[in-house]
Amino acid sequence: MGNIYKNATAVIVMPGGVSAAQDFGIETEWATRAWTVQEAALCPNTYVLGMDYVWLLKRKIDEYLFTERSAWAGYRDFTYIEDSLALADIRGILNHLQGAVHVEVTNRNTGEVVRKGRWVLKCLGDGAVV
């Protein structure tokens, strides 16, 4: 398996399993699987596939104002796929597992805050385990 990951053009990690992409905020057992280190480290182009509804709103720049406060640029490593489905660069995420992003999404037309909260990445498990 190590050679497969090492020679792959890209690896897409699905922490929730192959049955479904899950919300990035839902904790999984991904970090406890035997091949996790190979999956995450051997291919230089490794991404996590998941759902993120704040990301969906962020893309609608004309309709929503997205305010982010954090020690790291939490969404810099994300790439939009479709609707709320996104790919995230695993190296960027692993460097910031202990960080949190404070997010506020405001409707530009009404001024209404439609999303607000503290966003913590949990899909890769405990940073110490990784």
What ranges do the domains of the chain cover? 2-120
Give 74-126 pLDDT, tens digit per residue. Answer: 556 677 777 777 787 877 777 666 667 778 889 999 999 988 877 666 666 65
- Which residues have CB under 8 Å from 67's CB, separation 6+? 103, 104, 105, 106
In whole angstroms, give the CA distance from residue 87 to residue 2: 22
CB 96 within 8 A of CB 72: yes
Question: What average pLDDT does the structure give for the chain?
Answer: 76
**pLDDT at residue 44, as a whole number:** 87
